[in-house]
Amino acid sequence: MKLTLYTDYSLRVLMYLGTRAADEKVQIDEISDYYGISKNHLTKVVHHLARLDYIHTVRGRGGGIMLKYKPEDLNVGEIVRNTEDNFYMAECFRPDNECVLTPVCGLKFVLNDALNNYLKTLDQYTLQDILPKALMR
């Protein structure tokens, strides 16, 4: 299973914010510079994270972004489910599946089992568990 760049960037933003004081506002430019990621990409990610209610955004002078919850209250599995656009591991997972083997193939069952275990593992961790110690303040 490979995460999309969108989910990767979402996790990076949340991890960066998780290393800051609860009331510390961070600018998108700061995160963009730190990770070497396009500010335009991060702006889209931040907007989505705000819509998902993971972060709080403050506009205007003195504005910025910050986590809305404590890192130990944000579940990694939930974040991944909410930021990935789909979990189509093979053709047979797609709604428009046209694979001729689907009626007799056991691959979908095996891949679905693997996916469920993958997500179950991610569900065991919080944002606090994955915070990079090098960024901690």
Helices 76-83 and 5-18: crossing angle, nearest 10°?
140
CA nearest 54: which of 42, 75, 73, 68? 68
Q: What 3-state class would DSSP assign to 55?
A: strand
Q: Give the span between the Cα atoms of 70 and 64, in whole angstroms.
A: 17
Q: Where in the chain are the domains?
A: 5-135
pLDDT tens string 97-124: 888 888 888 888 898 899 999 999 999 9
pLDDT tens string 29-65: 999 999 999 999 999 999 999 999 999 999 888 889 9
CATH of domain 5-135: 1.10.10.10
CA nearest 90: which of 81, 99, 82, 100? 99
Backbone φ, ψ for residue 71 (5° rounding) = -55, -35
Question: What percent helix, strand, coil does the chain show, rounded to 5?
Answer: 55, 10, 40
Residue 124 corresponds to which amino acid?
Q
